[in-house]
Structure 1
Amino acid sequence: MRKHFLAMAAAGLALTMTACGGGAGPADTTAPSASTDTTATAETSAPMEDAGTLTLWADENRVDSFKALGEKFKTSTGVTLDVVEKPTADVKTDFIAQAPTGEGPDLIVGAHDWVGDLVKNGVIAPVELGDKVSGFSETSIQGFTMDGSLYGVPYAIENIALVRNNKLAAETPATFDELVAQGKSSGAEFPILIQQGAEGDAYHLYPLQSSFGAPVFTTGDNGEYTGELGMGGENGAKFAAYLKKLADDKVLSAAIGGDQAKQAFLDGKSPYMITGPWNIADFEKAGIDFSVLPVPSAGGQPSQPFLGIQGVYLSSKSENALLANQFLDYMTTPEAQTTMYELAGRTPALTESADAVDDKVLAGFGEAGKDGQPMPSIPEMGAVWTFWGAAQISIIDGTAKDPAAAWKTMITNIEGAF
């Protein structure tokens, strides 16, 4: 199902990026500028020996990819990339704790929605890509931008979509209600699988919620999220009522978490599952004939899944700012972006690399996410998840007798936590 492309362009152009060296915050000082061509390519010169070492933290899902990319980077520059594996749950928190002490890494790999917390704690430096910004998708740049400054170099974009078992369903209806009806008539145990679990899962329900015109936050004229909730009011109440309907129709259940949903789909117990590219390899390994499609609208407006953008952040406390800039420069090249696609199977953030991808699966995810929005990275988002998931699961399991009232209480609780 996969057809990887081999066309790679090696570029070593330098870029100017700002970095703090140990001051009070990201904007206090400016790192040495990589304003000349400091990246020697394999085609033009032999790799330098022992040109220095950078430390990069990556989680268990990305560590191998960055180790492989680091080998290419060393061949080009002579700079060693020491990739340290950190548990997913610890990368951000440990970085915030250790960076101010000088014990943290020069670079970390993470999602764009970390920007708010990292900026607030003063542990990352803004970067300046200059004209290279235009080479990236608008969404990927938007995701790493806060208050007009860019904080990180994006390299991959992902989102959830509707995955269909083509053996159990040949065509997909235009609306979510029709899809549920089709799933029930198929005779499968589950009409569609949407993971929840005991604490709820607002992320996997967001395409449905957004189709009711109830975005988590409003956006300003510049496209950036404001700190004002957008999921209250009449549209939010309508979505809350719809959650109750889906629970009554046995579509949603607290007993179906991520592992249970995945296994049920692998076992052919449902024609549909809302999930992301992280499960695709297992579906392929199981020999399932599947298609990746947009999530049909439930509320009449387009489904807008969250877009997750992965990128590399620069520590504001790095003592190797020039070398770190050199690696961030490398991350803007088609060679690096294409390599990460081939190693990790995500749509590149660089348009040139993304346009060269010939992959039906990624094309399906791209179509499903064409109306999507980056997951909010503003600090207020940290107050949302717990209340959001708890309110949704209380409606799904019947603890909340009045969905609209439960939703209104959720809004009040979230706003009180800002």
Structure 2
Amino acid sequence: MNKNKTLWGLVLMISFVLLLAACAPEREGAEEAANDDNGSDESQGNEESGQTDKPEELVVWINDEDIAQDVSAQMFDKYTEETGIEVKFERVALPDQVQELSLAGPTGDGPDLFFQPQDSLGNIVAQGLAMPIEYTDEEKAAFTDVAMDAFTYDGEIYGAPVAIETYFAYYNKSLMDSAPETIDDVFTMSQELTDASQDQYGFLVSPEFYYLYSFMNAYGGYVFGETDGVYDPTDIGLDNEGSIEGLKKYKEFIDAGLLPKTLTVDVLDGLFKEGKVGMVISGPWNMPIYKEALGDDLATAPLPMMNGEVAPSFVGVKSWLVSYYSENQEWAADLAKFMTNNENSQLYFDVTGELPPRPEILDAVEDSIYAGYTEQVPNGTLMPNIPEMSPVWDMDVAIELINNGSDVESAVKDTVQSIKDNIATMGTSE
């Protein structure tokens, strides 16, 4: 009888050992990563998700900027060292990635991960190009609510947030002691500093809807009506009285010759770096570039007050997304979480100057050069992430018409009607 008990116990022990072996994670170093003090614990292993066999390679589409390549390459090398998975990256311009994925994905030539701002999310989901990413409550809590909300669509989270960005004021302290507080102060300052014949200006802002939305929103304009976080694409406020009033305020600069009628971002950046402009409106992507050019003369501030309050700005969140066509979706999500853990988010901030939407990092920023950035974010408005946002960028047409002398009200109303027609067409084609 004792012999039978011993034999039965031996069988149970062997079965238990085999069971443990079957459940063991395939990813090498997962246990060490889970205990990493640098935050890489958020890079998920195989044990909880039931991931498929570890791939030899993952393909990632990054933005076609040198600085994006530099910081991404560092992260990819660390991921390869930890997992043994090679990461191949391809530079694809941000505006082109969605269209190219829709073509390359079905043929197997697309990426496992790609990179996008949240205003394109609705279009991405509508085309079936991305897969949701599963997060634990602890993982979600490591990001700001705004970042999670930005990439939430129909209750699913589709992105691993990399950076939260908005635009704000940069100014040259060799030309002014402090940034003008109101838009009327900006106008006065511009009159004093502008000499268009010498390419010298007091104030420059790119004539694009993205930036000029601040003028519109400050006076009561809005993109879509919103209730409890749900956008109503039939309620468009881009041609209301507030939007028109705000763009008339902008046109005052054009009519007075204080802003050039044609201006590109490259020209704006070049003139500011040369010290020929007192103040410009731009975003964190220019922080290291402007700092290199102007050194200690560079300072930042929130947008000037309009209509009695700090002017609002579009707030965007950029994230990594997992391609629907990836054959390694769970490992792609693993890489996305790895690149946005605390350690790598800090690296991204150190290299690019763009703030990751992680409270632990945001609360630790002490450099005064970021004051305008951090003060502007709470005054921002998230760009809508529904598919109907795509036609809204045609507001650039209205701005071009205004710059060329068209009546503000007619230019805005005609353009918004065209946007409404395009949105209606989207609805009938579904």
Scaled by the length of structure 2, the TM-score of the pair is: 0.81
Please give the per-residue CA displacement for 1:175-223, whole angstroms capped at 9, x wherever unaligned.
1011210232246632201123xxxx1112122222112122222212x
Please give the per-residue CA displacement for 1:77-106, whole angstroms capped at 9, x wherever unaligned.
222222122234432211122223332111
* Superposition map of 1:137-286 within 5 A: 137-186=144-193, 189-196=200-207, 201-222=208-229, 224-227=230-233, 228-286=235-293
Q: Which residue of 1 aligns with 2:364?
A: 356
Q: Distance between the aligned counterparts of 2:398 and 2:142, measured in 1?
A: 41
Pair 1:60-2:64 in alignment: yes
Pair 1:318-2:326 in alignment: yes
Q: Distance between the aligned counterparts of 2:403 and 2:77, measured in 1?
A: 49
Q: Distance between the aligned counterparts of 1:194 and 1:164, measured in 2?
A: 12
Deviation at 1:355, TM superposition (A): 2.5
Pair 1:87-2:93 in alignment: yes
Is 1:14–1:34's contact at 8 Å kept on the other side of the alignment? no
Residue from 364, 367, 370 that aligns with 2:375: 367
* Local SS of the residue matching 1:128: coil
Deviation at 1:306, TM superposition (A): 1.2
* Local SS of the residue matching 1:268: coil
The amino acid across from 1:12 in the alignment is: D
Quickly say closer, same or farther: Cα 1:103–1:155, change in 2 above 3 A: same
Residue from 412, 415, 426 that aligns with 1:407: 412
* Local SS of the residue matching 2:333: helix
Deviation at 1:246, TM superposition (A): 2.3
Q: Which runs of 5+ in 2 are unaligned?
A: 1-35, 424-430
Deviation at 1:312, TM superposition (A): 0.6
Quickly say closer, same or farther: Cα 1:163–1:37, change in 2 above 3 A: farther
Residue from 283, 307, 311 that aligns with 1:303: 311
Pair 1:75-2:81 in alignment: yes
The amino acid across from 1:293 in the alignment is: A
Q: Which residue of 2 aligns with 1:44?
A: none
Deviation at 1:365, TM superposition (A): 1.0
Quickly say closer, same or farther: Cα 1:158–1:242, change in 2 above 3 A: same
Q: Distance between the aligned counterparts of 1:325 and 1:305, measured in 2?
A: 31
The amino acid across from 1:11 in the alignment is: S
Please give the per-residue CA displacement for 1:306-332, whole angstroms capped at 9, x wherever unaligned.
122111101122111232232133234
Q: Distance between the aligned counterparts of 1:370 and 1:389, measured in 2?
A: 25
Q: Which residue of 1 aligns with 2:397?
A: 390
Pair 1:341-2:349 in alignment: yes
Q: Distance between the aligned counterparts of 2:310 and 2:92, measured in 1?
A: 37
Q: Which residue of 2 aligns with 1:10?
A: 39
* Local SS of the residue matching 1:172: coil
Quickly say closer, same or farther: Cα 1:329–1:260, change in 2 above 3 A: closer
Q: Distance between the aligned counterparts of 1:236 and 1:286, measured in 2?
A: 35
Is 1:210–1:302's contact at 8 Å kept on the other side of the alignment? no
Q: Distance between the aligned counterparts of 1:184 and 1:195, measured in 2?
A: 18
Quickly say closer, same or farther: Cα 1:8–1:290, change in 2 above 3 A: farther
* Local SS of the residue matching 2:306: coil
Quickly say closer, same or farther: Cα 1:8–1:293, change in 2 above 3 A: farther
Is 1:154–1:310's contact at 8 Å kept on the other side of the alignment? yes
Q: Which residue of 2 aligns with 1:35?
A: 48
Is 1:181–1:191's contact at 8 Å kept on the other side of the alignment? no
Q: Distance between the aligned counterparts of 1:286 and 1:302, measured in 2?
A: 28
Please give the per-residue CA displacement for 1:151-194, whole angstroms capped at 9, x wherever unaligned.
11101112111111111111233210112102322466322011
Q: Percent identity?
A: 27
Is 1:14–1:35's contact at 8 Å kept on the other side of the alignment? no
Please give the per-residue CA displacement for 1:3-30, whole angstroms capped at 9, x wherever unaligned.
xxxx9713324659xxxxxxxxxxxxxx
Q: Distance between the aligned counterparts of 1:352 and 1:139, measured in 2?
A: 15
Q: Distance between the aligned counterparts of 2:400 and 2:259, measured in 1?
A: 9
Q: Distance between the aligned counterparts of 2:351 and 2:215, measured in 1?
A: 31
What is the total number of aligned residue pairs between the two structures? 377
Please give the per-residue CA displacement for 1:250-278, whole angstroms capped at 9, x wherever unaligned.
23333221122122222332211111222
Q: Distance between the aligned counterparts of 2:117 and 2:324, measured in 1?
A: 17
Is 1:53–1:80's contact at 8 Å kept on the other side of the alignment? yes
Is 2:106–2:325's contact at 8 Å kept on the other side of the alignment? yes
Say which structure is richer in helix.
Answer: 2
The amino acid across from 1:53 in the alignment is: E
Q: Distance between the aligned counterparts of 1:286 and 1:158, measured in 2?
A: 21
Q: Which residue of 2 aligns with 1:129?
A: 135
Q: Which residue of 1 aligns with 2:421?
A: 416
Scaled by the length of structure 1, the TM-score of the pair is: 0.83
Quickly say closer, same or farther: Cα 1:328–1:88, change in 2 above 3 A: closer
* Local SS of the residue matching 2:204: coil
